[in-house]
Structure 1
């Protein structure tokens, strides 16, 4: 059984907060590649920032997500990802037209069920790492919500409830006893 669970959806929809809750409950989590890349780029020359060179940013996110995916396959139990390879590949394909999504998506599968955080204007905020507005976040969500089913994933939209309830909802949607593949 594939135990790599992807959290995707709207930017600013509560993914990072949700992953922190799952980590507090003892689950392995993988931080969003984009956040890690922004931090690294701001400490360096800043060439692969989403507001400077989005294609370079997406390519770096793909590389990082492939490494994250490989490392997580070795872990026991569920591993929850804040975004991942398919989000980065979808962004690159949208920007450049490069047909990377199907190829990468087939080679690096996640659990069948993907959880999407819907647009939630009441909790959306910008910050130094998230500079785009809510309308851009919704457009990204719409693209991802359309892409995942075409790749054979079952999409589950998370309810707009408190983080503990969201974590319970996710865990209730997954088999109780993850087994090795």
Structure 2
């Protein structure tokens, strides 16, 4: 069982149990993860949304539109914690965004990438196959947590694709289809939980 007192390097032995779902903001990732959870998969919710809600609740300023660097540092830390939780569970776990997404976000925000962030991305890896939710204007909506428009979301998608690819991940685009078809698509590739 994983413990914070253990060496984080041991996570590399478990990485094929850590399945990433990334891609376009507003592309249906969270909805897909909710459906996969109902099918018995362990899931970790999007760390960025968690940080936004926490910061709004406490009146904090580590928000993507106020302090992008501070926000991304918190997201990286939360993503590391999620990996530790997944390792402790011993189960195949699906993630809604993670370390690479935050790492790529520094570049998009024009913020300096901390050296430790590059180390985290290099040493704490997910399974080789990453599912990518493509830009899909028909389902994209803005809300209190997602203030950017579709064009920004689409640019983010292409940036994330390049970031994951440059790190040696195999990218598989999710179909633009209803949730159950997407669930079947993922299950066909992963097997039952």
TM-score by length of 2: 0.86
Instruction: Give the ranges of 4+ consecutive aligned residues of structure 1 lying more than 4 Å apart after TM superposition.
Output: 99-102
Work out the number of aligned pairs and report it: 177
CA deviation map 1:59-94 (0-9, x unaligned): 110010011111111223320101011101111244
Structure 1 residue aligned with 2:9: none
- Indicate conservation of the 8 Å contact 1:59/1:92, yes or no: no
Superposed CA RMSD in Å reads: 1.6
Matched, 1:42 2:56: yes
Structure 1 residues 55 and 171, CA, compared in 2 at 3 Å: closer, same or farther? same
TM-score by length of 1: 0.92
Equivalent in 150, 155, 167 of residue 139 of structure 1: 155
Question: Which structure has more helix as a fraction of its residues?
Answer: 2
Equivalent in 130, 139, 145 of residue 114 of structure 1: 130
Distance 1:111 1:167 in 2: 18
Matched, 1:90 2:104: yes
CA deviation map 1:73-123 (0-9, x unaligned): 122332010101110111124422426564222211101100000000000
Structure 2 residue aligned with 1:58: 72
Matched, 1:21 2:59: no
Structure 1 residues 177 and 31, CA, compared in 2 at 3 Å: closer, same or farther? closer
Structure 2 residue aligned with 1:6: 20
Structure 2: gaps spanning 5 or more residues: 1-13
Structure 2 residue aligned with 1:166: 182
Equivalent in 152, 156, 160 of residue 172 of structure 2: 156
Structure 1 residues 99 and 143, CA, compared in 2 at 3 Å: closer, same or farther? farther
**SS at 1:105 equivalent:** helix
